[in-house]
Amino acid sequence: MSFGLSIRGITMDASDVLSLCKRRGFLYPSYEIYGGVAGLYDYGPLGTAMRNNIVEIWRRLYTLGEGFVEIDSETIGPEVVFKASGHVDEFADKMVKCKVCEEAYRADHLIGDRHPNPGSLKETELDELIRKNGIACPGCGGELSSVEEFNLMFKTVIGPGSGRVGYLRPETAQGIFVNFPSLYRYNREKLPLGVIQVGRGYRNEISPRQGVIRMREFNMMECELFVDPEDKGWPRFKDVKDEKLKLLANDGRELEISVGEAVEQGIICNQVLAYFMWFTQEFLKAIGVDGARLRFRQHEKDEMAHYAADCWDAEALLSFGWTEIVGIADRGCWDLSRHIKFSGVDMSAFKRFDTPQEVERDVIKPKYGVLGPKYKALGSKIGKAMEATDPSLIQNDSVTVEVDGQSYVLGRECFDVARVKEKVSGVKVIPHVIEPSHGLDRITYTCLEHAYTKKEDMEMLRISAAIAPIKFGVFPLMARDELDKVAMDIDQEIRYSGIETYYDDSGSIGRRYARMDEIGTPYCITVDYQTLEDGTVTLRERDSQAQIRVKVQDITIVARAALCGANLDQFVVGESRA
């Protein structure tokens, strides 16, 4: 594919990156002293710091930038939540496999109409039906294995004894949906309402592979944006409509196109989805994901999740191939509708009209004076039922209502039809949900792999300064003659100003620079003999290896300016060094 060609030449072995990550404290395989567990990884000191930086940038973009709110919901949920979300049925498939061709099938599908409700059967019952009916592999006719449940959610029990069945959440999203009524009230009953959540999700993957790309316990940053279903525009869309996106549409087209055109041409189904695709792209670039190795791929129609109306994945090119790191879906009203159905709670939003509308309509007015004597105690019940009946249902001058399971036909003598005026100040709508959902571990790993460079056995991470776990290395050129003391003071001053540093006085200066390069520290400050004479130090930039001299007294201001990517010329004293 054409996006691949532009990056040909960057060949990467994930094991190099993972090896460095383990060696330098970014990632450790979990429980390694016991042999490890596939699909579980721990973040080391540097990995944790870096991931925290990514989360903080993301959080600020959504809360400060877009005015969204953040919540933190539980990771354990009762079964009904995941019945409503569809995960219980989607996850807990009863599977059989052909012993010959190894094709896997859903057991209940194979039963077909040999049973009225195959989906309700237990494994042993399914087994029995398959054997009794001599059902074989539909593909090759081979013998089938016994039925096994493939449950990709971690099941648990809430409370002692037999308790309630619960699951570890497979996504953070449901925690937002179930809180929608409270959040909507919090937002003073207005749409749009954006809610974000950062947290862990759990999926008992059959076969986790590829390092942190598919984990059994993983970190997500999810946003659920509730919008008016009839208005999927976005106020800031006009500001970004000329920005470019690289798209791989599900009609097979690959194109680089502006956000505005993509919506006009119907490639992306609405403004708000397109806006957040751009927003996602900017976020990813800001933390150091390589734009040349980033694209958006539209889900195939049959690939689309059970809830999605349209879905685009932000994919990064990694050594494993193009890998989904963010999914941006229009989930329509699916989630809220399901929770309405399962909980019985009204989770609609009230869409107030600008001016209340007067609506005239006909209503049935029962004549209680006639109903009472005729039906006695049932009279008022029948009357209420008649009031609730639409006058268009009147047939042959009579209306039929059902009360306590009994039908009553009421003739014209029992009611009038009257025209009434009603004030309607709005309508109830079920909000639609736009969901940018980020795989935090995959994003973190992408930053590491895209930052990884190797020159003649020298490995380094060109991590963006914004997310680098250590911002400044501080060294004395020699650990003597007071140089170390001065360097320690500078180190402390920068740390106390809120910037992460690493003090190092062991080994040659080159080795110390190399150590910092390897963990992606963008800048190093070195105290040398000139420092003692004129109060200046060298500031060395990682990628260019260029050095400038700056005043010790300016050091925290310079440090801050450097991290913001500001031009440092105004701080330079004397000659710079290549």
Partner RNA sequence: GCGGGCGUAGUGUAGUUGGUUAUCACUUAACCUUGCCAAGGUUAGAACACGGGUUCGAAUCCCGUCGCCCGCACCA
Which residues on adjacent β-strands are paired with residue 76?
A: 168
Q: Among 42-50, 182-190, 199-207, 284-292, which window interacts with RNA (CB under 7 A)? A: 199-207
Which residues on adjacent β-strands are paired with residue 438?
A: 221, 326
Distance from the Cα of residue 43 to its chain's centroid: 20
Site residues (CB under 7 A) for RNA, limited to 100-129: 102-104
6 binds RNA (CB under 7 A): no
Site residues (CB under 7 A) for RNA, limited to 545-564: 545-547
x/- letters, 49..88, toward RNA (CB under 7 A): -------------------------------------xx-
261 binds RNA (CB under 7 A): no
- 399: its two tokens: 């209306």
Minimum distance between the CB of residue 247 and RNA, rounded to whole angstroms?
Answer: 20
11 binds RNA (CB under 7 A): no
458 binds RNA (CB under 7 A): yes
90 binds RNA (CB under 7 A): yes
Minimum distance between the CB of residue 392 and RNA, rounded to whole angstroms?
Answer: 41
Residue type, 230: E
152 binds RNA (CB under 7 A): yes
Cα separation of 27 and 40, whole Å?
A: 10
Cα separation of 188 and 191, whole Å?
A: 9
Q: Among 50-58, 114-122, 204-212, 250-258, which window interacts with RNA (CB under 7 A)? A: 204-212
Cα separation of 574 and 578, whole Å?
A: 13
Distance from the Cα of residue 488 to its chain's centroid: 42
**Quick one: which H or E segment has residue 275?**
helix 271-286
Minimum distance between the CB of residue 545 and RNA, rounded to whole angstroms?
Answer: 4
Site residues (CB under 7 A) for RNA, limited to 278-317: 303, 305-308
Nearest C-alpha neighbor of 172 from the set 286, 35, 71: 71
Q: Which residue has the tokens 């001058």?
A: 397
Cα separation of 356 and 177, whole Å?
A: 30
Coil, helix or strand for 486?
A: helix
DSSP at 367: -
Specify the pairing of strand 472-476 against strand 501-503: parallel
Q: Among 47-55, 115-123, 177-185, 527-535, which window interacts with RNA (CB under 7 A)? A: 527-535
Among 2, 7, 13, 19, binds RNA (CB under 7 A): 19
Minimum distance between the CB of residue 90 and RNA, rounded to whole angstroms?
Answer: 5
As separate numbers, helices (DSSP H) first and strands (DSSP E) second, the chain gives 20, 28
392 binds RNA (CB under 7 A): no
How many CB atoms within 10 Å of residue 542?
21
Cα separation of 376 and 368, whole Å?
A: 10
DSSP at 61: I
241 or 540: CB nearest RNA: 540
Among 26, 39, 147, 550, binds RNA (CB under 7 A): 39
Cα separation of 432 and 192, whole Å?
A: 10
Among 35, 134, 160, 266, binds RNA (CB under 7 A): 35
148 or 500: CB nearest RNA: 148
Binding residues for RNA, rule: CB under 7 A, are 15, 19, 22-23, 29, 35-39, 86-87, 90-91, 97, 102-104, 150, 152-153, 170-171, 203, 205-211, 214, 303, 305-308, 457-460, 477-480, 506-511, 513-515, 517-518, 526, 528-530, 537-538, 540, 545-547, 577
